[in-house]
């Protein structure tokens, strides 16, 4: 059975004068996946989100969520989607519980059902002990946890998060990422995350779309992105070895499955037919070499970005 497409865009474009913030975006996001809208600041991620939410109209093209046109029927979209902006606003002089109660009432919830949901969500996001403290005393990480609870109050099918981990300490980031992943795995919700922090997003995203200057550079599962951007098949291995002598390259060339060898300063890059790290290490150590750096390059979103900007002459 084909996987259900819950979010779809066709030639989605937004212009501000002569500037194209989003340029011909064609995108399909599946029900229940975690999808990353990834790219540097100014790439068009937030503008895309605003069009999905019906908060700004596209110049061309369109977007649909759960079958509803995001421009023509924004109220139906809003009833199905919850959004956590990058700087979520709460009433600081109210407690976490009072803020959640206000959101619940705005979404038509009342009485015991609302109070039970607040208690359940407070526990789920790890705020049970602080739910009755004023939000003005919360750390950035606690506010983001409260934000997750806030977007879940109305039990949405789609959750959109804009830069959710900014300004949070490392432990808080790991806990928040785990919580976000659970929204998909345990709840079956579709989660769309906008972020420029590539190394964090590759931990939880099922698929990603990489944005640069309003355009979709690459799109799909992480393992396919390198080939899309580089146009290369095979795998690339970075290697730094001591001593760096004339015999080293001869040994590397003798290894089966090594297609090409290039060098930049002290780092060798080997293009491989398959992963031969074990064989490579055994060979070099057996000949008295010390390996100080060994890393497969594909699958790392930061590498994909570095390659793209290098090709564009930015770096």
- pLDDT digits over 17-68, tens only? 999 999 999 999 999 999 999 888 888 999 999 999 999 999 999 999 999 9
d(CA 188, CA 10): 25
Asked if the peptide bond before residue 256 counts as cis, ω within 30 degrees of 0, the response is no
Best mean pLDDT range from 105-114, 197-206, 227-236: 105-114
Q: In a 3-state reduction of DSSP, which class is residue 3? A: coil
* Range with lowest mean pLDDT among 9-13, 63-67, 215-219: 215-219
CA 235 to chain centre: 23
d(CA 292, CA 27): 42
d(CA 276, CA 272): 8
Per-residue pLDDT at 197 exceeds 70: yes
Q: Which pLDDT does position 270 carry in this prediction? A: 87
Across 302-306, average pLDDT: 68
Q: Which pLDDT does position 57 carry in this prediction? A: 96
Give the fold, CATH level 3, of 235-297.
Alpha-Beta Plaits (3.30.70)
Per-residue pLDDT at 309 exceeds 70: no
CATH 3.40.50.300 domain range(s) in the chain: 5-227
Q: Which pLDDT does position 112 carry in this prediction? A: 95
Q: Which pLDDT does position 315 carry in this prediction? A: 45
Q: Which pLDDT does position 233 carry in this prediction? A: 52
b/e burial code for range 63-95 (CB count within 10 A of at least 16 → b): bbbbebebbeebebbbbbbbbbeeebebeeeeb
Q: In a 3-state reduction of DSSP, which class is residue 193? A: strand
d(CA 34, CA 203): 11
Q: Annotate 129-184 with DSSP letters as a single string.
A: TTTTSBGGG--HHHHHHHHHHHHHTT--SEEEEESTTTT--HHHHHHHHHHHHHHH
**Which pair of structure tokens corresponds to residue 85?**
């902006």
Per-residue pLDDT at 1 exceeds 50: no
Across 164-190, average pLDDT: 91
Question: Hey, which bits of 3-133 come out as E strands?
Answer: 5-16, 19-30, 34-38, 60-65, 68-69, 81-84
CA 157 to chain centre: 18
Q: Give tens-digit pLDDT for 109-135.
A: 999 999 999 999 999 999 999 999 999
CATH 3.30.70.100 domain range(s) in the chain: 235-297
* CATH tag for 5-227 (out of 3.40.50.300, 1.10.260.40, 3.40.50.970, 3.40.1710.10): 3.40.50.300
Q: Which pLDDT does position 276 carry in this prediction? A: 86
**Which pair of structure tokens corresponds to residue 226?**
């390198």
d(CA 58, CA 38): 20
Contact 201, 195 (CB under 8 A): yes
End-to-end CA distance of the chain: 45
Question: 146: closest CA among 160, 158, 134, 162?
Answer: 134
Best mean pLDDT range from 14-23, 167-176, 193-202, 253-262: 14-23
Q: Using a pLDDT cut of 70, give the percent of the chain over it.
A: 90
Q: Which pLDDT does position 229 carry in this prediction? A: 65
Across 155-168, average pLDDT: 92
Q: Which pLDDT does position 221 carry in this prediction? A: 82
Q: Which pLDDT does position 296 carry in this prediction? A: 77
Better-predicted residue by pLDDT, 227 or 170: 170
Residue 142 burial (CB count, 10 A): 19
Which strands, in side-by-side order, build the sheet including 215-220?
A: 81-84, 158-162, 190-195, 34-38, 207-212, 215-220
Q: Kindly report the average pLDDT of the chain as a whole number.
A: 88
Would you place residue 185 in the very low, low, confident or very high pLDDT band (cuts 50, 70, 90)? very high
Per-residue pLDDT at 86 exceeds 90: no
Beta bridge partners, 296, equal 237
């Amino acid at each position: 059975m084909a996987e259900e497409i819950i979010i779809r865009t066709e030639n989605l474009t937004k212009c501000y004068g002569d500037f194209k913030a989003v340029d011909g975006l064609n995108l399909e996001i599946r029900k229940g996946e975690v999808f990353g809208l990834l790219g540097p600041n100014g790439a068009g991620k937030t503008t895309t989100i605003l069009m999905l939410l019906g908060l700004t109209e596209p110049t061309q093209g369109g977007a649909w969520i759960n079958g509803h046109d995001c421009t023509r029927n924004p109220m139906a979209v809003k009833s199905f989607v919850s959004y956590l902006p990058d700087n979520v606003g709460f009433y600081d002089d109210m407690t976490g519980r009072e803020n959640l109660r206000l959101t619940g009432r705005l979404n038509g919830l009342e009485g015991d059902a609302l109070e039970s949901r607040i208690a359940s969500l407070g526990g789920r996001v790890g705020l049970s002990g602080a739910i009755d403290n004023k939000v003005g005393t919360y750390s950035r990480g606690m506010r983001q946890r409260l934000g997750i609870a806030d977007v879940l109050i109305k039990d949405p099918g789609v959750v959109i998060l804009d830069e959710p981990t900014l300004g949070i300490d490392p432990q808080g980031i790991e806990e928040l990422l785990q919580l976000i992943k659970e929204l998909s795995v345990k709840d079956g919700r579709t989660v769309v995350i906008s972020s420029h922090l590539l190394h964090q997003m590759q931990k939880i995203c099922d698929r990603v779309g990489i944005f640069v200057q309003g355009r979709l550079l690459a799109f799909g599962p992480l393992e396919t992105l390198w080939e899309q951007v580089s146009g290369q098949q095979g795998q690339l291995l970075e290697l730094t070895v001591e001593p760096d002598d004339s015999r080293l390259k001869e040994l590397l060339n003798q290894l089966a499955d090594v297609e090409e060898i290039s060098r930049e300063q002290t780092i060798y890059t080997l293009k491989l037919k398959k992963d031969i790290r074990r064989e490579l290490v055994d060979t070099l150590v057996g000949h008295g070499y010390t390996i100080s750096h060994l890393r497969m390059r594909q699958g790392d979103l930061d590498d994909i970005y570095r390659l793209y900007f290098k090709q564009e002459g930015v770096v």
